[in-house]
Structure 1
Amino acid sequence: MTTHQVTVKLTIPFVAEISGVWQPEESERQAAWELYVELATRVTVVELGENEGLLREALSSLYTVFGTTREILRRYGPAVAPRVPPGHVTFGVLAVNVLNLSIRPLLSRWHPLLTAHEATRQDGTDPVTHERNWDRAAELRAEIEAVRKVLMKLAQALNEVAGVGDLITTHVPRQAPAAEAP
Protein backbone atom coordinates (compact mmCIF):
# COMPACT_ATOMS: atom_id res chain seq x y z
CA MET A 1 0.00 0.00 0.00
CA THR A 2 1.44 3.37 -1.01
CA THR A 3 0.61 6.29 1.24
CA HIS A 4 0.48 9.94 0.34
CA GLN A 5 3.64 11.80 -0.53
CA VAL A 6 5.41 14.10 1.89
CA THR A 7 7.77 16.94 1.07
CA VAL A 8 10.77 16.83 3.37
CA LYS A 9 13.34 19.57 3.98
CA LEU A 10 15.97 19.12 6.67
CA THR A 11 18.62 21.79 6.97
CA ILE A 12 21.74 20.53 8.70
CA PRO A 13 23.71 23.59 9.83
CA PHE A 14 27.05 24.13 8.09
CA VAL A 15 26.71 20.86 6.17
CA ALA A 16 23.82 20.28 3.84
CA GLU A 17 20.16 20.36 3.11
CA ILE A 18 18.36 17.09 2.64
CA SER A 19 15.17 17.63 0.75
CA GLY A 20 12.86 15.88 -1.58
CA VAL A 21 9.57 14.15 -2.04
CA TRP A 22 9.00 11.05 0.04
CA GLN A 23 6.37 8.64 -1.23
CA PRO A 24 6.60 5.97 1.47
CA GLU A 25 5.60 2.36 1.11
CA GLU A 26 4.05 0.50 4.04
CA SER A 27 7.42 -0.71 5.37
CA GLU A 28 8.67 2.88 5.45
CA ARG A 29 5.50 3.95 7.25
CA GLN A 30 6.12 1.31 9.92
CA ALA A 31 9.81 2.24 10.21
CA ALA A 32 8.82 5.92 10.44
CA TRP A 33 6.52 5.11 13.36
CA GLU A 34 9.29 3.23 15.19
CA LEU A 35 11.85 5.99 14.80
CA TYR A 36 9.24 8.63 15.62
CA VAL A 37 8.48 6.89 18.92
CA GLU A 38 12.21 6.73 19.67
CA LEU A 39 12.69 10.44 19.02
CA ALA A 40 9.49 11.47 20.82
CA THR A 41 10.45 9.66 24.02
CA ARG A 42 14.02 10.93 24.38
CA VAL A 43 15.60 14.27 25.17
CA THR A 44 16.58 14.37 21.51
CA VAL A 45 13.58 16.57 20.64
CA VAL A 46 13.06 18.31 23.97
CA GLU A 47 14.61 21.74 24.38
CA LEU A 48 17.33 21.59 27.03
CA GLY A 49 17.11 24.77 29.08
CA GLU A 50 20.24 26.49 30.36
CA ASN A 51 20.00 25.00 33.84
CA GLU A 52 18.16 21.81 32.94
CA GLY A 53 19.43 18.29 32.55
CA LEU A 54 22.96 17.10 32.09
CA LEU A 55 24.99 17.44 28.93
CA ARG A 56 26.30 13.90 29.43
CA GLU A 57 22.75 12.54 29.48
CA ALA A 58 21.86 14.48 26.33
CA LEU A 59 24.90 13.09 24.48
CA SER A 60 24.17 9.58 25.71
CA SER A 61 20.57 9.84 24.55
CA LEU A 62 21.70 10.99 21.11
CA TYR A 63 24.16 8.10 20.99
CA THR A 64 21.38 5.56 21.56
CA VAL A 65 19.57 6.90 18.49
CA PHE A 66 22.35 5.28 16.43
CA GLY A 67 21.66 1.79 17.74
CA THR A 68 17.92 2.12 17.43
CA THR A 69 18.12 3.51 13.90
CA ARG A 70 20.47 0.73 12.80
CA GLU A 71 18.12 -1.85 14.30
CA ILE A 72 15.14 -0.37 12.43
CA LEU A 73 17.10 -0.26 9.16
CA ARG A 74 18.18 -3.89 9.55
CA ARG A 75 14.69 -5.07 10.52
CA TYR A 76 13.00 -3.51 7.49
CA GLY A 77 15.91 -4.08 5.12
CA PRO A 78 16.14 -2.76 1.57
CA ALA A 79 12.42 -1.97 1.50
CA VAL A 80 13.09 1.28 3.42
CA ALA A 81 15.87 2.40 1.08
CA PRO A 82 14.64 1.72 -2.46
CA ARG A 83 16.18 3.43 -5.45
CA VAL A 84 14.25 6.56 -6.19
CA PRO A 85 14.52 9.25 -8.86
CA PRO A 86 16.39 12.49 -8.21
CA GLY A 87 14.42 14.82 -5.98
CA HIS A 88 12.98 11.95 -3.94
CA VAL A 89 14.03 10.62 -0.55
CA THR A 90 13.43 7.47 1.44
CA PHE A 91 13.38 6.51 5.10
CA GLY A 92 16.88 5.06 4.71
CA VAL A 93 18.29 8.18 3.09
CA LEU A 94 16.82 10.45 5.75
CA ALA A 95 17.81 8.26 8.70
CA VAL A 96 21.39 7.61 7.62
CA ASN A 97 22.06 11.20 6.58
CA VAL A 98 20.75 12.61 9.86
CA LEU A 99 22.96 10.16 11.75
CA ASN A 100 26.08 10.81 9.69
CA LEU A 101 25.74 14.54 9.01
CA SER A 102 24.15 15.81 12.20
CA ILE A 103 24.44 13.48 15.20
CA ARG A 104 27.82 11.85 14.45
CA PRO A 105 29.79 15.13 14.14
CA LEU A 106 28.31 16.38 17.42
CA LEU A 107 29.17 13.17 19.26
CA SER A 108 32.63 12.80 17.67
CA ARG A 109 33.59 16.28 18.76
CA TRP A 110 31.94 16.58 22.15
CA HIS A 111 32.10 13.11 23.75
CA PRO A 112 35.91 13.31 24.17
CA LEU A 113 35.86 16.96 25.25
CA LEU A 114 33.20 16.35 27.88
CA THR A 115 34.98 13.19 29.07
CA ALA A 116 38.20 15.18 29.51
CA HIS A 117 36.34 17.82 31.52
CA GLU A 118 34.63 15.18 33.67
CA ALA A 119 38.06 13.72 34.51
CA THR A 120 39.02 17.03 36.17
CA ARG A 121 36.23 16.87 38.76
CA GLN A 122 37.59 17.21 42.28
CA ASP A 123 36.41 14.99 45.11
CA GLY A 124 33.51 16.64 46.87
CA THR A 125 32.25 18.44 43.77
CA ASP A 126 29.00 17.04 42.52
CA PRO A 127 28.83 16.14 38.80
CA VAL A 128 26.03 18.62 38.05
CA THR A 129 27.90 21.60 39.47
CA HIS A 130 31.12 20.51 37.78
CA GLU A 131 29.44 20.17 34.38
CA ARG A 132 27.57 23.48 34.67
CA ASN A 133 30.80 25.30 35.58
CA TRP A 134 32.53 24.05 32.43
CA ASP A 135 33.58 26.98 30.26
CA ARG A 136 32.39 25.14 27.11
CA ALA A 137 28.97 24.09 28.45
CA ALA A 138 27.09 26.88 26.65
CA GLU A 139 28.83 26.03 23.37
CA LEU A 140 27.86 22.37 23.67
CA ARG A 141 24.28 23.28 24.60
CA ALA A 142 24.07 25.44 21.46
CA GLU A 143 25.25 22.55 19.28
CA ILE A 144 22.83 20.14 20.96
CA GLU A 145 20.06 22.65 20.23
CA ALA A 146 21.04 22.81 16.54
CA VAL A 147 20.86 19.00 16.30
CA ARG A 148 17.57 19.01 18.20
CA LYS A 149 16.08 21.30 15.54
CA VAL A 150 17.15 18.87 12.80
CA LEU A 151 15.66 15.97 14.74
CA MET A 152 12.41 17.88 15.25
CA LYS A 153 12.10 18.39 11.49
CA LEU A 154 12.82 14.69 10.94
CA ALA A 155 10.28 13.77 13.63
CA GLN A 156 7.65 15.95 11.94
CA ALA A 157 8.23 14.14 8.63
CA LEU A 158 8.14 10.75 10.36
CA ASN A 159 4.93 11.73 12.12
CA GLU A 160 3.30 12.73 8.84
CA VAL A 161 4.36 9.51 7.14
CA ALA A 162 3.24 7.37 10.09
CA GLY A 163 -0.12 9.13 10.00
CA VAL A 164 -0.41 9.44 13.76
CA GLY A 165 -1.19 12.16 16.28
CA ASP A 166 1.56 14.50 17.42
CA LEU A 167 3.29 12.95 20.42
CA ILE A 168 5.88 15.70 20.81
CA THR A 169 4.16 19.08 20.93
CA THR A 170 0.65 18.08 22.00
CA HIS A 171 0.40 18.29 25.76
CA VAL A 172 -2.49 17.22 27.91
CA PRO A 173 -3.25 19.97 30.43
CA ARG A 174 -2.58 18.95 33.98
CA GLN A 175 -5.51 19.06 36.33
CA ALA A 176 -5.33 19.50 40.05
CA PRO A 177 -6.20 16.30 41.90
CA ALA A 178 -9.80 16.18 43.04
CA ALA A 179 -10.27 17.00 46.70
CA GLU A 180 -11.03 14.01 48.83
CA ALA A 181 -14.51 13.83 50.27
CA PRO A 182 -14.67 14.08 54.07
Structure 2
Amino acid sequence: MLSRIRELWTKALLGLLLGAAAGFLAYQAVRLPRPGLFTVCGALAGLLIVVVVFGYRRSVRLTDITVSVPQFSRLRFAVTRDGQDVAWKLFVEASTRIATQPVADGSGRVREALTSLYSLFAVIRDLLKDSQPSRQGGSDPAVEHLAIAMLNLELRPFLSRWHPALHDWEQAHRDRPESEWPDDAACRADLADLQQRLVGYVLSFGKLAGLSNAAEVLTAGVPGPAGTRA
Protein backbone atom coordinates (compact mmCIF):
# COMPACT_ATOMS: atom_id res chain seq x y z
CA MET A 1 0.00 0.00 0.00
CA LEU A 2 2.83 2.41 0.90
CA SER A 3 4.63 1.65 -2.35
CA ARG A 4 1.46 2.46 -4.29
CA ILE A 5 1.10 5.80 -2.46
CA ARG A 6 4.74 6.66 -3.18
CA GLU A 7 4.21 5.77 -6.82
CA LEU A 8 1.17 8.08 -7.03
CA TRP A 9 3.07 10.97 -5.43
CA THR A 10 6.02 10.41 -7.77
CA LYS A 11 3.73 10.48 -10.79
CA ALA A 12 2.01 13.62 -9.50
CA LEU A 13 5.35 15.39 -9.00
CA LEU A 14 6.55 14.33 -12.43
CA GLY A 15 3.31 15.64 -13.93
CA LEU A 16 3.79 19.00 -12.22
CA LEU A 17 7.37 19.29 -13.50
CA LEU A 18 6.42 18.31 -17.03
CA GLY A 19 3.49 20.72 -16.98
CA ALA A 20 5.72 23.56 -15.81
CA ALA A 21 8.28 22.74 -18.52
CA ALA A 22 5.56 22.61 -21.18
CA GLY A 23 4.20 25.97 -20.03
CA PHE A 24 7.62 27.56 -20.17
CA LEU A 25 8.27 26.19 -23.67
CA ALA A 26 4.88 27.39 -24.84
CA TYR A 27 5.60 30.88 -23.51
CA GLN A 28 8.94 30.96 -25.30
CA ALA A 29 7.43 29.57 -28.49
CA VAL A 30 4.78 32.29 -28.86
CA ARG A 31 7.55 34.89 -28.80
CA LEU A 32 9.18 33.38 -31.87
CA PRO A 33 8.47 34.45 -35.46
CA ARG A 34 5.72 32.43 -37.15
CA PRO A 35 8.08 29.91 -38.92
CA GLY A 36 9.88 29.23 -35.65
CA LEU A 37 6.58 28.81 -33.82
CA PHE A 38 5.37 26.14 -36.26
CA THR A 39 8.72 24.37 -36.07
CA VAL A 40 8.67 24.20 -32.28
CA CYS A 41 5.03 23.08 -32.16
CA GLY A 42 5.67 20.37 -34.77
CA ALA A 43 8.71 19.10 -32.90
CA LEU A 44 6.80 18.94 -29.62
CA ALA A 45 3.90 17.14 -31.30
CA GLY A 46 6.26 14.58 -32.81
CA LEU A 47 7.96 14.03 -29.47
CA LEU A 48 4.61 13.53 -27.77
CA ILE A 49 3.52 10.98 -30.37
CA VAL A 50 6.74 8.99 -29.97
CA VAL A 51 6.47 8.97 -26.17
CA VAL A 52 2.82 7.92 -26.22
CA VAL A 53 3.29 5.17 -28.80
CA PHE A 54 6.44 3.81 -27.14
CA GLY A 55 4.83 3.85 -23.71
CA TYR A 56 1.71 2.15 -25.05
CA ARG A 57 3.70 -0.64 -26.66
CA ARG A 58 5.71 -1.23 -23.49
CA SER A 59 2.76 -1.24 -21.11
CA VAL A 60 -0.13 -2.73 -23.05
CA ARG A 61 1.42 -5.72 -24.83
CA LEU A 62 5.00 -6.74 -24.28
CA THR A 63 4.92 -10.29 -25.58
CA ASP A 64 2.68 -13.34 -25.93
CA ILE A 65 3.46 -16.38 -23.76
CA THR A 66 1.74 -19.77 -23.64
CA VAL A 67 1.82 -21.77 -20.41
CA SER A 68 0.42 -25.10 -19.24
CA VAL A 69 -1.76 -24.84 -16.14
CA PRO A 70 -3.71 -27.53 -14.23
CA GLN A 71 -7.43 -27.51 -15.01
CA PHE A 72 -6.87 -25.20 -18.00
CA SER A 73 -4.44 -27.13 -20.21
CA ARG A 74 -2.64 -24.45 -22.24
CA LEU A 75 -3.33 -20.72 -21.92
CA ARG A 76 -2.03 -17.85 -24.01
CA PHE A 77 -1.19 -14.66 -22.10
CA ALA A 78 -0.53 -11.13 -23.30
CA VAL A 79 2.17 -10.17 -20.80
CA THR A 80 2.82 -6.54 -19.93
CA ARG A 81 5.48 -4.90 -17.77
CA ASP A 82 2.97 -4.59 -14.95
CA GLY A 83 2.00 -8.22 -15.44
CA GLN A 84 5.64 -9.29 -15.23
CA ASP A 85 6.05 -7.52 -11.90
CA VAL A 86 2.92 -9.17 -10.49
CA ALA A 87 3.99 -12.59 -11.79
CA TRP A 88 7.43 -12.22 -10.18
CA LYS A 89 5.89 -11.39 -6.79
CA LEU A 90 3.52 -14.34 -7.09
CA PHE A 91 6.40 -16.65 -8.00
CA VAL A 92 8.46 -15.54 -5.01
CA GLU A 93 5.59 -15.85 -2.55
CA ALA A 94 4.49 -19.29 -3.72
CA SER A 95 7.92 -20.83 -4.31
CA THR A 96 9.24 -19.99 -0.84
CA ARG A 97 6.39 -21.58 1.10
CA ILE A 98 5.22 -25.09 1.84
CA ALA A 99 2.80 -24.75 -1.07
CA THR A 100 5.42 -26.29 -3.35
CA GLN A 101 7.66 -28.07 -0.82
CA PRO A 102 6.70 -31.71 -0.08
CA VAL A 103 5.92 -32.85 3.46
CA ALA A 104 7.23 -36.38 3.96
CA ASP A 105 5.10 -38.98 5.73
CA GLY A 106 5.76 -38.97 9.44
CA SER A 107 7.56 -35.60 9.39
CA GLY A 108 6.35 -32.06 9.74
CA ARG A 109 2.95 -31.08 11.00
CA VAL A 110 -0.22 -30.76 8.95
CA ARG A 111 -1.23 -27.76 11.04
CA GLU A 112 1.89 -25.89 9.96
CA ALA A 113 1.18 -26.74 6.33
CA LEU A 114 -2.41 -25.53 6.58
CA THR A 115 -1.33 -22.32 8.31
CA SER A 116 1.25 -21.68 5.60
CA LEU A 117 -1.30 -22.23 2.83
CA TYR A 118 -3.81 -19.98 4.59
CA SER A 119 -1.14 -17.29 4.86
CA LEU A 120 -0.28 -17.70 1.17
CA PHE A 121 -3.95 -17.25 0.27
CA ALA A 122 -4.11 -14.01 2.26
CA VAL A 123 -0.81 -12.68 0.88
CA ILE A 124 -1.78 -13.30 -2.75
CA ARG A 125 -5.22 -11.78 -2.23
CA ASP A 126 -3.68 -8.65 -0.68
CA LEU A 127 -1.06 -8.47 -3.43
CA LEU A 128 -3.78 -8.51 -6.09
CA LYS A 129 -5.84 -5.90 -4.24
CA ASP A 130 -2.87 -3.54 -3.91
CA SER A 131 -1.78 -3.92 -7.55
CA GLN A 132 -3.21 -2.08 -10.51
CA PRO A 133 -4.93 -4.51 -12.93
CA SER A 134 -2.70 -5.33 -15.87
CA ARG A 135 -3.66 -3.54 -19.06
CA GLN A 136 -4.87 -5.84 -21.79
CA GLY A 137 -4.61 -5.38 -25.51
CA GLY A 138 -7.11 -8.09 -26.38
CA SER A 139 -9.10 -11.00 -24.99
CA ASP A 140 -6.12 -12.95 -23.64
CA PRO A 141 -6.17 -13.50 -19.85
CA ALA A 142 -3.91 -11.48 -17.56
CA VAL A 143 -1.60 -12.78 -14.84
CA GLU A 144 -4.16 -11.80 -12.21
CA HIS A 145 -6.69 -14.20 -13.74
CA LEU A 146 -4.31 -17.09 -13.19
CA ALA A 147 -3.67 -16.06 -9.58
CA ILE A 148 -7.39 -15.81 -8.83
CA ALA A 149 -7.94 -19.23 -10.41
CA MET A 150 -5.27 -20.70 -8.14
CA LEU A 151 -6.97 -19.19 -5.09
CA ASN A 152 -10.53 -20.21 -5.99
CA LEU A 153 -9.94 -23.56 -7.67
CA GLU A 154 -7.05 -24.93 -5.62
CA LEU A 155 -6.35 -23.27 -2.27
CA ARG A 156 -9.88 -22.38 -1.24
CA PRO A 157 -11.42 -25.87 -1.68
CA PHE A 158 -8.50 -27.55 0.10
CA LEU A 159 -8.53 -25.15 3.04
CA SER A 160 -12.32 -25.22 3.30
CA ARG A 161 -12.20 -28.99 3.70
CA TRP A 162 -9.21 -29.56 5.94
CA HIS A 163 -8.75 -26.42 8.00
CA PRO A 164 -12.03 -26.71 9.96
CA ALA A 165 -11.73 -30.52 10.17
CA LEU A 166 -8.34 -30.36 11.87
CA HIS A 167 -9.40 -27.41 14.02
CA ASP A 168 -12.44 -29.28 15.36
CA TRP A 169 -10.33 -32.35 16.21
CA GLU A 170 -7.67 -30.20 17.93
CA GLN A 171 -10.31 -28.51 20.06
CA ALA A 172 -11.81 -31.85 21.09
CA HIS A 173 -8.44 -33.54 21.75
CA ARG A 174 -6.13 -30.87 23.17
CA ASP A 175 -3.95 -33.39 25.00
CA ARG A 176 -3.34 -35.67 22.02
CA PRO A 177 -0.64 -35.29 19.33
CA GLU A 178 -1.63 -34.42 15.79
CA SER A 179 -0.34 -37.78 14.52
CA GLU A 180 -3.35 -39.42 16.18
CA TRP A 181 -5.78 -37.46 14.06
CA PRO A 182 -7.76 -40.10 12.12
CA ASP A 183 -7.65 -38.03 8.91
CA ASP A 184 -3.92 -37.31 9.07
CA ALA A 185 -2.97 -39.67 6.23
CA ALA A 186 -5.87 -38.58 4.02
CA CYS A 187 -5.04 -34.92 4.52
CA ARG A 188 -1.36 -35.49 3.74
CA ALA A 189 -2.28 -37.35 0.54
CA ASP A 190 -4.62 -34.54 -0.49
CA LEU A 191 -1.91 -32.01 0.34
CA ALA A 192 0.59 -33.84 -1.86
CA ASP A 193 -1.87 -33.78 -4.78
CA LEU A 194 -2.49 -30.06 -4.21
CA GLN A 195 1.22 -29.31 -4.18
CA GLN A 196 1.70 -31.06 -7.50
CA ARG A 197 -0.99 -28.90 -9.06
CA LEU A 198 0.35 -25.72 -7.45
CA VAL A 199 3.75 -26.37 -8.98
CA GLY A 200 2.16 -25.88 -12.40
CA TYR A 201 0.82 -22.49 -11.37
CA VAL A 202 4.10 -21.41 -9.80
CA LEU A 203 6.14 -22.42 -12.85
CA SER A 204 3.68 -20.46 -14.98
CA PHE A 205 4.17 -17.39 -12.80
CA GLY A 206 7.92 -17.76 -13.26
CA LYS A 207 7.59 -18.05 -17.02
CA LEU A 208 5.27 -15.04 -17.17
CA ALA A 209 7.75 -13.09 -15.05
CA GLY A 210 10.46 -13.75 -17.63
CA LEU A 211 12.43 -16.45 -15.82
CA SER A 212 14.09 -18.86 -18.20
CA ASN A 213 14.96 -21.34 -15.44
CA ALA A 214 11.90 -21.26 -13.19
CA ALA A 215 11.92 -25.04 -12.66
CA GLU A 216 15.55 -25.02 -11.49
CA VAL A 217 14.90 -22.11 -9.13
CA LEU A 218 11.85 -23.84 -7.69
CA THR A 219 13.43 -27.25 -7.13
CA ALA A 220 16.96 -26.25 -6.16
CA GLY A 221 16.41 -22.83 -4.65
CA VAL A 222 19.15 -21.38 -6.86
CA PRO A 223 18.50 -17.73 -7.79
CA GLY A 224 18.15 -17.07 -11.49
CA PRO A 225 21.09 -15.46 -13.28
CA ALA A 226 21.06 -11.73 -13.87
CA GLY A 227 19.00 -10.73 -16.82
CA THR A 228 16.51 -13.58 -16.68
CA ARG A 229 13.73 -11.13 -15.96
CA ALA A 230 12.81 -9.39 -19.15
Name the TM tier (shorter chain).
Answer: 0.7 to 0.9
Deviation at 1:134, TM superposition (A): 1.7
- Do residues 30 (structure 1) and 90 (structure 2) align? no
User: Secondary structure at 1:78's aligned position in 2?
Assistant: coil
Structure (1 or 2) with the greater helix fraction: 2
**Per-residue Cα deviation, 1:59-116 (whole angstroms, up to 9, x for no partner):** 1111112221122212222226x4742xx32211111111011110111111111011
Q: In 1, Cα distance between the equivalents of 2:113 and 2:100?
A: 10
Q: In 2, Cα distance between the equivalents of 1:83 and 1:25?
A: 9
- Do residues 108 (structure 1) and 149 (structure 2) align? no
- The gaps in structure 1 that reach 5 residues or longer are 173-182
Query: What code does the residue aligned with 2:88 have?
Result: W
Query: What code does the residue aligned with 2:77 have?
Result: W
Say if 1:29 and 1:161, in contact at 8 Å, map to a contact too: yes
- Do residues 76 (structure 1) and 120 (structure 2) align? no
Deviation at 1:49, TM superposition (A): 0.9
Between Structure 1 and Structure 2, whose CA radius of gyration is higher?
A: 2
Say if 1:19 and 1:89, in contact at 8 Å, map to a contact too: no
Q: In 2, Cα distance between the equivalents of 1:96 and 1:84?
A: 19
Say if 1:18 and 1:94, in contact at 8 Å, map to a contact too: no
Q: Describe how 1:27-176 pairs up with structure 2 within 5 A.
A: 27-79=82-134, 82=136, 84-85=138-139, 88-121=140-173, 123=175, 125=176, 130-164=177-211, 165-166=213-214, 167-171=217-221
User: Secondary structure at 1:45's aligned position in 2?
Assistant: coil
Instruction: Return the match for 2:67 from 8, 22, 33.
Output: 8
What is the aligned partner in structure 1 of residue 37 from structure 2? Answer: none
Q: In 2, Cα distance between the equivalents of 1:35 and 1:115?
A: 28
Deviation at 1:18, TM superposition (A): 5.9
User: Secondary structure at 1:169's aligned position in 2?
Assistant: helix
Query: What code does the residue aligned with 1:138 have?
Result: A
User: Identity of counterpart residues, as a percentage?
Assistant: 29
User: Secondary structure at 2:72's aligned position in 1?
Assistant: strand
Which has the higher mean CA deviation after the structures are superposed, 136-145 or 2-11? 2-11
Change (3 A) 1:22 1:137: same
> Taking structure 2 as the reference length, what is the TM-score of the superposition?
0.63
Which has the higher mean CA deviation after the structures are superposed, 55-64 or 114-123? 114-123
Count of residues in Structure 1 that have an aligned counterpart in Structure 2: 160
Query: What code does the residue aligned with 2:124 have?
Result: T
Q: In 1, Cα distance between the equivalents of 2:164 and 2:172?
A: 13
**Does 1 or 2 have the higher relative contact order (CA < 8 Å, sep 6+)?**
1
Deviation at 1:3, TM superposition (A): 3.8
Q: In 1, Cα distance between the equivalents of 2:69 and 2:189?
A: 18
Change (3 A) 1:78 1:144: same
Q: In 1, Cα distance between the equivalents of 2:221 and 2:132?
A: 34
Say if 1:7 and 1:19, in contact at 8 Å, map to a contact too: yes
User: Secondary structure at 2:106's aligned position in 1?
Assistant: coil
- The gaps in structure 2 that reach 5 residues or longer are 1-57, 223-230
> Taking structure 1 as the reference length, what is the TM-score of the superposition?
0.78
